Amino acid sequence: MIYRLRVPRPPLSHFIENLWFYSGLDPDHSKEKLLPNAAVELIIDLTDWPKKLYEARDLRQPKSYRRCWISGMHRRFIVIGTDKGSSMMGAHFRTGGAAPFLGFPLTELTGNVVELDAIWRRDILALRERLLEAATIDAKFDLLEAFLFERARNRLEVDRTVGAALNALRRWPVLSLRQLASDLGTSQKGMIASFQRRVGVGPKFVGRLFRFQTALAAASAPDRDWAHVALDCGYYDQPHLIHEFQEFAGVTPAVYARTRSEFPDYIPVD
């Protein structure tokens, strides 16, 4: 399998964490859970067969996606197919980073996966054709980076209120929203509205996701103590940690640590 990342040049790097590419996928399982990670993901399929998104409560009812799609913020895990031989590329947006490229409130994507030709119509399909024709991975990255810059060139301005709030929540995800809004010189209602529009969910939920992601990282430590992990990550106690894992990942922290893949946000299903 070939796997490559590129950090885009500024100003795109303020909104996009990385561009990614892989080919020759060779999994030992047919499905995997993708855990919520406070990000929006753009996916361009470079193979011709449909890819599957499963209903988490009934894995017999998949929905198919073709060519290009975008995955909004999710409130719990989703289950995706892992097809041998797949090749894809895309963009992993920073939390709150996708809004300038889409031009509508991110709440419209929350909990959804939407085929991109419904948003960008022929432009995204034309890009896919150029990506298929590009001779090298770097050339593909160049095309995708140029396309994204063109989509948002007049809107690449950071929302300072949302950006400052996100930085505060990354430092410590358990904050009083009233105090946070006051520190930022805005109202709590106004801050939440900006979050909904720019991020897709409110600041309280983003804080929960940041805390969960910190706990996922801690779960990889060989000498972890779950009670200490809970307190270090900002949970009230170990039962609170377990509850959040069950809600977001559908498993306990111990099961996650035993079954996680090399990528922290993914758990093989079978």
Lowest model confidence (mean pLDDT) among 9-18, 167-176, 216-225, 248-257: 216-225
1/24 Cα distance (integer angstroms): 5
pLDDT band at 60 (very low <50, low <70, confident <90, very high): confident
The pTM for the full model equals 0.95
**pLDDT value, residue 57:** 79
The domain at 2-152 falls in which architecture?
Answer: Sandwich (2.60)
DSSP string, the chain: -EEEEEPPPTTGGGTEEEEEEEE----SSSEEEE---S--EEEEE-SSS-EEEEETTEEEEEEEE-SEEEE---SS-EEEE--TT--EEEEEEPTT-SHHHH-S-GGGTTT-EEEGGGTTTHHHHHHHHHHHH-SSHHHHHHHHHHHHHHHHTT-----HHHHHHHHHHHH-S---HHHHHHHTTS-HHHHHHHHHHHTSS-HHHHHHHHHHHHHHHHHT-TT--HHHHHHHHT-SSHHHHHHHHHHHHSS-HHHHHHH--SSTTEEE--
135 phi and psi angles, rounded to 5 deg: -80, -25
Q: Which residue has the higher pLDDT, 103 or 123?
A: 123
**pLDDT value, residue 200:** 97
pLDDT band at 150 (very low <50, low <70, confident <90, very high): very high
pLDDT in tens, 109-141: 999 999 999 999 999 999 999 999 999 999 999
**pLDDT value, residue 223:** 80
Q: What is the mean pLDDT of residues 152-164?
A: 91
**pLDDT value, residue 154:** 87
- Domain definitions of the chain by residue range: 2-152, 164-264
pLDDT in tens, 183-230: 999 999 999 999 999 999 999 999 999 999 999 999 888 788 999 999
pLDDT band at 61 (very low <50, low <70, confident <90, very high): confident
CB-CB contact of 44 with 89 (8 Å): yes
Is 59's pLDDT higher than 90? no
**pLDDT value, residue 224:** 85
**Other CB atoms closer than 10 Å to residue 175's CB: what's the count?**
17
Q: Which residue has the higher pLDDT, 154 or 96?
A: 96
* Residues above pLDDT 70, as percent of the chain: 100
pLDDT band at 20 (very low <50, low <70, confident <90, very high): very high
The dotted CATH code for 164-264 is 1.10.10.60
Q: What is the mean pLDDT of residues 18-24?
A: 97
pLDDT band at 56 (very low <50, low <70, confident <90, very high): confident
